[in-house]
Amino acid sequence: MPLGNRATVQGLIVCTCLLVSSVTFLLAQGDVEAAIRTKYEKKILMLRNFYQDGHLDYDKDGTVEGNPHVGSWTLARVEITKVKVKPQRLELEGIRIGDVYDNKQSKFVPILTKERVRIGIDLDTSRMSLIDVALSRVFLRDSERIADLVPPYWQAVTNGRVEDLMTSEGRPRYHIKGTDLLPNGPVSKSGPRVTPPRVVEAPDPHYTHIAKGSHYQGTTILQAEVKPEGRAENIQIVKALGLGLDDEAVRAVQQWKFEPARKNGDPVRVVINIEVNFRLN
């Protein structure tokens, strides 16, 4: 065979091998993509660390890139709507799901928001096992409990420790079971000789853009210990709203200033309910 023809044949063999490799990858890619779609599409998953950003990128170790904003768990769910598999990258698209508290059902219920979420993960997409591991670092597993991951001020609600007590005026008073004695000792209760604390400075809470965009409003109620120095501590949510508003209420009340409760003229600490209203003008 002439030299020129031999070189041509070798070139064809190389091209054929490359073509076969490409076809094999495309077939594998199609299988993986189909498997991921079956497993994750149309599923509602919760972002680990409760990230609020609309675009999140992760490296091959599952570490988020940049400095994404950590927010409320009530704004951390995503419904996966689209999966795209590339040779070294997995891309997911979805819609952020908000959780709101339904008083009639006494539980949180999901609502669809208008916010899109895009997630990109750099990794070898030829192996489904690697993809599952990567996604377990992006989203919470089914076996993980929200109550174990939320900030302390959510613990009473997520662990079911809130009870309704009726006041002498017939109004409900939300109370956390087992909080008659706090870590620092017994707490004075408002009574005939105790004047309740009075708010003297109360910066407004931030209204989350998703709650505002959803025209969502209402009142969240916090239980807090007002110290003799006029600051609120040991704050707990006892009647929730959702959509990130409860977290903003806690942050605001941490900045409030009070004229403390007084017993026989002396400042004392008391546990009170604090209502924080969210109203759209």
pLDDT at 267 over 70: yes
Give the burial string for 151-174 (b: 16+ CB within 10 Å, else e).
eebbebbbeeebeeeeeeeeeebb
- At 4-13, the pLDDT tens digits run 454 444 444 3
* Average pLDDT of span 98-113: 94
Specify the pLDDT at position 180: 56
The predicted-structure confidence for 165-218, as pLDDT tens digits, reads as follows 776 677 777 888 877 533 344 445 555 578 889 999 999 999 999 999 999 999
| Cα 278 to Cα 20, 203, 208, distances in angstroms | 62, 13, 10
Distance (Å, whole) CA 74 – CA 87 = 34
Phi first, then psi, for residue 154 (nearest 5°) are -95, -10
pTM: 0.82
Measured over the CA atoms of residue 121, residue 124, residue 128 and residue 134, the dihedral's sign is negative
pLDDT at res. 7? 46
Which residues are paired to 199 by β-bridges? 258
What's the pLDDT score for residue 93?
97
Amino acid (one-letter) located at 44: I
Q: What is the CATH number of domain 152-278?
A: 3.30.2420.10
Strand partners, 93: 82, 118
Structure tokens at 106: 């006494």
73 backbone dihedrals φ, ψ, rounded to 5°: -65, -20
Cβ 119 vs Cβ 94: under 8 Å: yes
In the structure encoding, which two tokens stand for residue 66, read together? Answer: 């940049």
Q: What is the mean pLDDT of residues 158-167?
A: 84
Residue extent(s) of CATH 3.30.2420.10 domains in the chain: 152-278
Query: Can you give the length of the chain in residues?
Result: 281
